[in-house]
Structure 1
Amino acid sequence: MEVNPLAVILVYFDSKGDRLLFRYPTHTHQLGEELTLTSNKKKRNPFAVHTDDHDDQTPNISAAKSQGGQLQGFSDDVLSTLFAVKPQLCNQKFELKLNDVRFVSHPTLIPHKEQRPSNAGTSAPSTTSNASSTSPANAVANVAKKQQMLINIVFALHAKASFSIVKCYHELSKRLGVALKFEEQRSGYLTEETSQMARTHDEQQPVERTFELIAERCSLAQALKSIYHDLCTTGLLSTTLNQNLTLSFCLPQKAHQLHKKGSMVDPETIDRCLRSLKPYHGMLLLVDFAELLDCVPPTGARMLLQLVEVYTPLMSLQSMASDADLGIDHVYKLVSHLVYWAKATIIYPLCETNVYVIAPDAPLHTKSHLVEKFSMRFAGMSLFEVISDFSLPTSIGHLTTPLQQPARQGILAQMVLWMLQHHLLMQLHTYVQFMPSDDADEFSDAATAAAQPPGSNYVLGSCGNLTEDDDDPLHGGSMLSMSSQPLPVPHIHRRSIQEDHFSVGDGSLASDNIAVQPSSSHKSNFSMTASLSTDNCDEASIDSMDEQKINELLQIFDDADRAAIRRIPASLNIDDLSLMVKLYQMGYFKSEHHLEEIMYFENLRRSQLLQLLDKFRDVLIIYETEDPAIASMYNNK
């Protein structure tokens, strides 16, 4: 509730004085006559200095939120006096906190549009008479003063509203002031509207009835009323002033709650996420295509249509930019705008290797409205039955088989996208950390090989624990044989896997979906002899040049790390060691870059990267977690 405004107030000030012309809601249970200044109730010495009378002179608004979130406790005279500020305070942020209400605005000085010749004739005598009684300098100052007016659109908020919310309302007040200034200079719109409001006030109607009549007669009052309702319902507004100028604004703290209730997404959080955008990221729309044009100005509608025509959650931003014939920077701006307006979210392009798990704050109680909504979208399917497959981190490829019909795979992809749109699932990425064993650790390859019983292997899980695993002809002893990996596929020759072309983030469901078959070194039970024979790295065959090259590559490590790497059989392979050292030097093994990012920037296939991690599993550990840049938008309460 602290996001919603309590009221919107329009205060006007010119040479004739200040006046509160309009406020909404009109029925605010005014207590002004009873709770205004108490100085009228007791006589005071005019020569006394009063230091402790602030509480007595401040209207009581402690019940401002008890009447349906409406403002109460102020008379119109008090409000007009508060917000008819001096010119020195104009064109900058104005903020005032009284008890549990915070007022924020951007007072704007607006020059009057030049009067027509008929009006100029009537005003000339008064100007001449004033000039005869005052100095020429004062006359010029008075004319300049009469030619400008102050307009102040004030939003009353809860006092506990965050700085981010206050900043957004100040920006909205500033934009309204700029828009009214433009329309005043173009057609004198503000002068006409304020004159109509003032004439309505002069009819001596009851206060609530006066504001109702103003809302019926004046388009500016109707616009302010529409703005108030849009802020309280969706946080998205698109208001046209004077049937000419369209003002679009988004209150992200409110707009993002439409897709996830209870979340509090600040603009600063969105900016951090958008600064992390990479070409390999993808976009997932949260609304229908028809709702997208409401959030972009006419100048950007054409580019948005180009992007929407090629949009698919299976493609990366770079691929969509290429297909739409747009620059990647333009795509970034369009996607950022849609994300800010809660029209889209950032994902990694959907493919079979993506690993998902149920979001910890997913609304999956029995009375959730999403249960019925899911059944209406996918007839005959149960949300609880489908999402139970993701109780543990699971890849899409794990839930499909080569013998499954393509239609079934397409339905599964649609259900995953639906659950992502409603924030029921979150994606987990694999991160790598370089962590060689300690010198004091008695663990050694020979000792482990001797201590292990025949036919048993040890697998390093996602938590970094060594767990005994049965002998698996495909995944035995592999660090990458985790539950989140795709199911084993029929035996494929190793060469065919290496020669297969995988596209990074191209969105194809058929890409990157083959479980990489570990090399035979995985079954060696840490046996140095078996590993060397498998990789054709017999120590006797290592010539002096290769040995020198290996020593040069290992110079970047200290003695302990160098010794740990030399114990790994794959370190005798120049190509494997060079790739590992290159990725280490680039900083990819510091738990800051997931596999998809490494694949994109280093132009590697998933099979190449997974094989490398498996070969150097003694010094590289992996774990799965969500992308912090994307997850930060949906973990705020």
Structure 2
Amino acid sequence: MEANVNPLAVILVYFDSKGDRLLYRYPYQTLGQAKTASEDQRKSRKRNPFAVTHVDDLLQTPSQVVASQSGQGQLQGFADDVLSALFAVKPQLCNQKFELKLNDVRFVSHPTLIPHKEQGSRTGAGTGTSSTIAANPSKKQQMLINIVFALNAQASYSIVKCYHELSKRLGLALKFEEQSSGYLTEQTAQMARTHDEQQQQPLEDTLALIAERCTLAQSLRSIFHDLSNTGLLSTSLNHNLTLCFCLPAKAHQLHKKGSMVDPETIDRCLRALKPYHGMLLLVDFAELLDCVPPTGARMLWQLVDAYNPLISLQSMASKADLSIEHVYKLVSHLVYWAKATIIYPLCETNVYVIAPDAPLHTKSHLVEKFSTRFAGMSLFEVISDFSLPTSIGHLTTPLQQPARQGILAQMVIWMLQHHLLMQLHTYVQFMPSEDEFGDSASASCSQQLRDGPSDEEQEQDADVDQDELHDGSMLSMYSQPLPVPVSSVSISIGGLHRREASEEQSSLASDNIAVQPSSSHKSNFSITASMSTDNCDSLDSIEDEQKLKELLQVFSEPDRAAIRRIPASSNVDDLSLLVKLYQMGYFKSEHHLEEIMYFENLRRSQLLQLLDKFRDVLIIYETEDPAIASMYNTK
């Protein structure tokens, strides 16, 4: 697959009023053997001495077959005059995509028409061109420049599209430099003179000499090597214009070998970006500047100064004094260039599991790399804790030292950077169960709700509640998270949960005080007041009953019956929150808990208590976020 990503060659074809010419190509290799075999074969044939050799005949001769040798990865089999005739297209085909497939090679480019700089004479420019412009100043001369990339014919559509985009950008950059300083005319004239001077020399020597004399040839050679090695290039044309480009299918393999991430997959991930998402850098800060031109460096550094894997993109935008739209664009750019990845901000409630395609064999280079980063630690020992879905909070205890908690967080970040862990999110599906016992069961259930539970049933319920609390129910596992192990953010989160607990305890205490009867007021006035209070309570109960019926109208009759059997459905607040989330579409397995918490401004404890109360009609399960995981599960 990697061979389909790398270019086989880059070719520069020039065409103006004097004709077409292949000025430069890289890599350059000896074609003498192919030419000699072709000439011998043509001489051995008995042909009409007056016949004209047709280009199609050359394409079909066995010695002239275009071949991409897998060992060398080079373009072989075509002479320069044939390539020049192929790619010096007519003006009607310019300024649009040009694609040609011959045997096992695909050529892709964007031919560009560039007008000559309007100037009577120019130092270093061709004499013929300048004299033509001077003689006809009203006629604007144009030249065609075509930078062609030769690819393996099996390259995907996404890869071909990326190379076409690069050829288009190169044409526009050269057009800009030509209009500002006549750079292209000067370079092409110097290449043509070198070819004329070195006619008796081997072709590879001529092309090597061109690379020494012409900065444009040096730029094309640098582009070829960058695309083959890293897929990332930052090239300066004419020491003035910086061209930045990324080939994602190649660049993302630097962090996960064998992955094929195309731009369409990245676009799907970036379209799903939300303010609650976070960013995780995959490279050092020093490696970030090569992905942006100098004009965009200032805004990037603003984001880098505010970077923290523990906070969301919205928090980073506020800290960096940038709009969330600018943060989206910067983060999208870093993700496209394989400099960063999208995560949910690191906290103790995050659940992780070993990625299914993690390279964890005994000879993996990551084993030694992990030991170098964390002295005295074994990668297999640390990552074994995530053999089953596990939250960071379960791996920490209040008795651990803060330094140990910080090291654990750093190890999790390291494993996320190397795609060894995968985060699981909790999704909710509304799925009411059928009434298996018929109307009699519903009648007995409603009668029991009216009469209230017996003493024995109350004792059994209390025992069940205690067992669920100690055996690891959903609330016991998630509603009381431990402090986050690093940075000041962890302290604030832990304090938040402690404040919630204290608020709940204080509210319970105030409720107990409110319902305590007063024995000192036994006058007629107090009796009248109590009677009026009873009337208000009865009115409130009637209003609550009416509101409950209105809320249940949202559901169908079978769903309504299933919800009525749940004791929490008699609470207006609980049922109102359930109906609100149901109407918003959060119970269709399309939104995880973190997303619901963000958009509805809910605490995790509130949401988990609701799910626990209505667990008879709500099913929860854990899986990865498809938008984020799609980038790293592609082969």
Aligned to 2:22: 20
- Alignment partner of 2:9 out of 4, 7, 19: 7
Contact 2:474–2:608, Cα closer than 8 Å, also in 1 = no
2:254 and 2:98 map into 1 onto residues whose CA distance is 30
- Residues 366 and 476 of structure 1: is their aligned pair in 2 closer, same or farther, counting only changes over 3 Å? closer
2:299 to 294, 300, 303: 303
SS of match in other structure, 1:543: helix
Distance 1:124 1:23, change over 3 A: closer
- Quick check: 1:432–1:620 contact (8 Å CA) kept in 2? yes
Q: Aligned pair 1:192/2:190, yes or no? A: no
Gaps (5+ residues) in structure 2? 446-452, 502-536
Q: Which residue is 2:514 aligned to?
A: none
Aligned counterpart in structure 2 of residue 103 of structure 1, from 107, 110, 117: 107
User: 2:490 is matched with which residue?
Assistant: 508
The CA distance in 2 between the partners of 1:324 and 1:63, in whole Å, is 53
Determine if contact 2:215/2:238 at 8 Å carries over to the other structure. yes
By how many angstroms is 1:598 displaced? 0.3
RMSD of aligned Cα (Å) = 3.7
1:133-191 Cα deviation digits (max 9, x unpaired): xxxxxx899x55xx211111000000000000000000000000111111111111111
Paired residue secondary structure (1:185):
helix
Matched, 1:212 2:216: no
Task: Confirm or deny: 8 A CA contact 2:111 2:144 kept in the other structure.
Answer: yes
**CA offsets per residue over residues 58-97 of structure 1, 9 Å max, x none?**
8644641234111111111111111111111111100000
Render the CA deviation track for 1:550-582: whole Å, top value 9, x for unaligned: 110000111110000000000000000000000
Distance in 2 of aligned mates of 1:331 and 1:31:
56
Q: Distance in 2 between matches of 1:191 and 1:153?
A: 15
Tell me if structure 2 keeps the 8 A contact 1:30–1:72: no
Equivalents in 2 of 1:125, 1:478: separation in Å? 85
Higher helix share: 2
Q: Which amino acid aligns with 1:575?
A: D
1:474 and 2:469 equivalent? yes
Q: Residue 282 in 1 paired to residue 274 in 2?
A: no
Separation in structure 1 between the aligned mates of residue 204 and residue 58 of structure 2, nearest angstrom: 29
**Is 1:225 the counterpart of 2:221 in the alignment?**
yes
- Cα separation, 2, equivalents of 1:198 and 1:607: 75
The 1-side partners of 2:268 and 2:475 are apart by 32
The 2-side partners of 1:426 and 1:15 are apart by 60
Task: Give a deviation string over 1:320-349, Cα, whole Å, max 9, x none.
Answer: 111111111111111011111111000000
Contact 1:5 1:228 (C-alpha < 8 Å) held by counterparts: yes
Equivalent-residue separation in structure 2 for 1:579 and 1:28 (angstroms):
76
| Residue 546 of structure 1, CA deviation | 1.2
Q: CA deviation at 1:486?
A: 8.4
Task: Give the length in aligned residue pairs.
Answer: 578
Relative to structure 1, is the Cα distance of residues 118 and 268 closer, same or farther in structure 2, using a 3 angstrom cutoff? closer
Aligned to 1:235: 231
Going from structure 1 to structure 2, the CA distance change for 1:318 and 1:51 (only over 3 Å counts) comes to: closer
User: Does 2:365 match 1:369?
Assistant: yes
Q: Secondary structure at the match of 2:75?
A: coil
The question of whether the paired residues in 2 share the 8 Å contact of 1:35 and 1:73 is answered with: no
Q: Work out the CA distance in 2 between the residues paired with 1:414 and 1:125.
A: 64
Q: Deviations over 1:475-495 (max 9, x none)?
A: 45835566xx58888xxxxxx
TM-score (norm 1): 0.83
Partner Cα separation in structure 2 for residue 428 and residue 286 of structure 1: 20
Alignment-mate amino acid for residue 107 of structure 1: P
Alignment of 1:532-551 (within 5 A): 543-551=541-549
TM-score of the pair, normalised by structure 2: 0.83
* Equivalences for residues 27-38 of structure 1 within 5 A: 27=29, 32-34=34-36
How far, CA to CA, are the matches of 1:476 and 1:19 in structure 2? 80
Identical columns (%): 75
Instruction: Specify the alignment match of 2:517 in structure 1.
Output: none
Amino acid at match of 2:11: I
Which one of 370, 377, 396 corresponds to residue 400 of structure 1? 396
The reply on whether 1:165 has 2:169 as its aligned counterpart is: no
| Corresponding position: 1:427 with 2:429 | no
> Which segment is superposed worse, 330-339 or 191-200?
191-200
Unmatched 5+ stretches in structure 1: 132-138, 458-468, 490-499, 518-538
- CA 422–486 in structure 1, closer or farther in 2 if over 3 Å, else same: farther
Report if aligned partners of 2:97, 2:164 keep a CA contact under 8 Å in 1. Answer: yes
Listed one character per residue, the Cα deviations across residues 269-319 of structure 1 (whole Å, up to 9, x for unaligned) are: 111111111000000000111111111122221111111111100010000
Query: Which amino acid is the alignment partner of residue 16 of structure 1?
Result: K
Give the corresponding residue for 1:317.
313
* Contact 1:432/1:588 (8 A) holds in 2: yes
Q: Which residue of 1 aligns with 2:96?
A: 92
Cross-structure match for 2:530: none
Matched residue, 2:555: 557
- CA distance in 1 between partners of 2:137 and 2:160 (Å): 39
**Residues in 2 aligned to 1:165 and 1:214: alpha-carbon distance in whole angstroms:** 29
In 2 relative to 1, CA 28–326 (structure 1 residues): closer, same or farther, beyond 3 Å?
farther
What is the identity, as a one-letter code, of the residue corresponding to 1:581?
Answer: V
Residue 428 of structure 1 aligns to a residue in which SS? Answer: strand
Q: Distance in 2 between matches of 1:420 and 1:229?
A: 30
User: Contact conserved, 2:351 with 2:425, CA < 8 A, in 1?
Assistant: yes
Deviation at 1:51, TM superposition (A): 14
2:190 partner letter: Q
- Tell me if structure 1 keeps the 8 A contact 2:66–2:75: no
